[in-house]
Structure 1
């Protein structure tokens, strides 16, 4: 059962990271097109800047950041200060990993919950972005997908670190 959960969590994290990368590439492409269009406009060669490129960039970057969080979590790649780690024994370090993973799960869950509530508010009031007039709830939804994936992967990471702490898995299982 654990192997299946590991495979699912890894798949979610990998898929979300690829989606985040594709979103970043799309934002980069649109930004380049907008800049080139703006630069060529005085020469009569361009279509001009893309209307609402700032709105599109803002939504795209937020969605990409949330899409990368599951990968960062599954790889234990969040910023950490390991100043005292060498002084602690393996058992204490494994216990700290459980506590940290529980904290990340709590943060991911609360973040997803608040994004969901924010999305419902933006949907209810019909708020749109200033320039492109895009519905704001769509940006919340794009970020919410990554936040939910982050919470799911963080839940798996709690299980993984508990298994290491209890001796059911070697410490090398935590990347």
Structure 2
């Protein structure tokens, strides 16, 4: 019978010490903060819907706040997914491969993610600077756009650090090291 929850062994989650443990705590708390953003968005949406239906007084700009908050909150979940190697994987093509072969593929995937997330962090920082210089604001609430965009930068930096950690773990496994 198929298991709904896979068993994770020490190969997937090696012991975390020192700076890796600190990174693990930071990405976990960052993801929890992202979850709090979503809870706040849900509460705001409920209040706005009730206000709109019962009192003809919705929260002004609720859709702008929802879009900004959803971007910030969802970016906060990416580092913890990478840190624990829980991104979606399609294993249909790798079931015949050895553990080391899969580790080599994981190594390439984590390296590509690390490079992409570093580029995204860099370009997001440049966009924050551009928005600040151009005084770009949202359409209805006139929120300076650099503020919510700036809140996404730490998520991408943490994603880069988590991808570097997973790259190192995958490299060790590909080289045959036991964790």
Which has the higher mean CA deviation after the structures are superposed, 123-132 or 72-81? Answer: 72-81
Per the alignment, residue 46 of structure 2 pairs with 32
- 2:25 pairs with one of 11, 33, 37: 11
Tell me how many residue pairs correspond in the alignment: 164
CA distance in 2, matches of 1:16, 1:150: 11
Tell me what 2:109 maps to.
Answer: 100
- More helix per residue: 1
TM-score if structure 1 supplies the norm length?
Answer: 0.88
Residue-by-residue CA offset, 1:96-130 (whole Å, 9 max, x unaligned): 11111101101111111111111111111011100
Instruction: Supply the distance in 2 between the matched residues of 1:145 and 1:91 (Cα, whole angstroms).
Output: 32
Match of 1:87 in 2: 96
Asked whether the 8 Å contact 2:114–2:163 carries over to 1, the reply is yes
Runs (4 or more) in structure 1 with deviation over 4 Å come to none
Looking at structure 1, the residues matched to 178 and 69 of structure 2 have their Cα atoms a distance apart, in angstroms, of 38
Name structure 1 gaps, 5 residues minimum.
43-47, 171-175
Matched residue SS, 2:95:
helix
**1:118 and 2:127 aligned:** yes
Distance in 2 (CA, whole Å) between partners of 1:89 and 1:7 is: 29
Measure the CA separation in 1 of the matches of 2:102 and 2:47.
49
> In structure 2, what is the equivalent of residue 72 of structure 1?
81
2:103 and 2:170 in contact (8 A); partners too = yes
**TM-score in terms of structure 2 length:** 0.86
Q: Does 1:136 align with 2:145?
A: yes
Q: Aligned equivalents of 1:160 and 1:107: distance in 2?
A: 19
Partner of 1:151: 160
SS at match of 2:17: helix
